[in-house]
Structure 1
């Protein structure tokens, strides 16, 4: 089998950590965090942001709906970057090393428009993709088939020539259904080994310097 023509990275929990539960556990304690997530559909709120809804307005409106948790909900906007840290240095090294060898690297991420700007200020690598496919701009999210089709069409790369990594099994399954090569991300070491197996990097290149 020929090697992939382009590599596609998810962002959250692939290039940078994303763990709102850990943030709230640290800031308000596990008991209050559990009550917050039980009372408020924060995942649904975040999905609306990922679909392109206004970052601040969406979160602040949810806070108004749940005044008992208003301060905590507003943290999702006001302290959002603390939920998206630290960066995963080895994954960033792999991305840049691929590009240094002339391999195109695309993003395919569920991410809000404004929250992406915030993240890119902290992590400039998010501005370095050869092509960006970000849900907030496209108004569609993984694992919907349409967002994968957009990447195929706009990049011009055939499905079987794309290698995609993501930390969610449902997103991986959707890509596999379209014929993409895939890797379920469970840590940068396994991803590095896959890139070596695909003859995209040498073992030395895939190792952290």
Structure 2
């Protein structure tokens, strides 16, 4: 059993691992506690319910990813170069999953969204807010590039939404086929959405 001081962190780590690899509905509090090595009472000391735990994991995961997205999208260089780095990060995450867990885990936000699309409003609302924020971040970068004349006068919001959808959809295929190679077409397709060429990367 873990020390009281680290029990909460152990629960978060165990649940994140389980939610990344299996469906949310198939995982119970008892299994989370068993993997974390803590008694069930510890779980309810820190979390009101499995949903409360899942909401915190969603926030922690996006907090970490948001920082990476912001650093990339607000960085130096052309929009094309920055987006290419963002896509490389997506591939890196899936390759790491395959290397460490033996399977492509996909995107925890996308996985939960697909499973909970017909219910669980608090989690669905939180996931919707995350995807809206992703679209906004990319849209802002596209609009900034348009102001500089680096990107054609396309529908920035529509392009940003399509790029986020493409990332999620291609990651889903990578998970389905357990093959990060499914992500190879992601970059070229996004360039077509922006109506630019890779030569504009620099």
Shorter-chain TM-score tier: 0.3 to 0.5
TM-score in terms of structure 2 length: 0.39
Kindly indicate which of the two structures has a greater share of residues assigned to helix: 2
- Higher gyration radius (CA): 2
More strand by share: 1
* Greater relative CO, 1 or 2 (CA 8 Å, sep 6+): 1
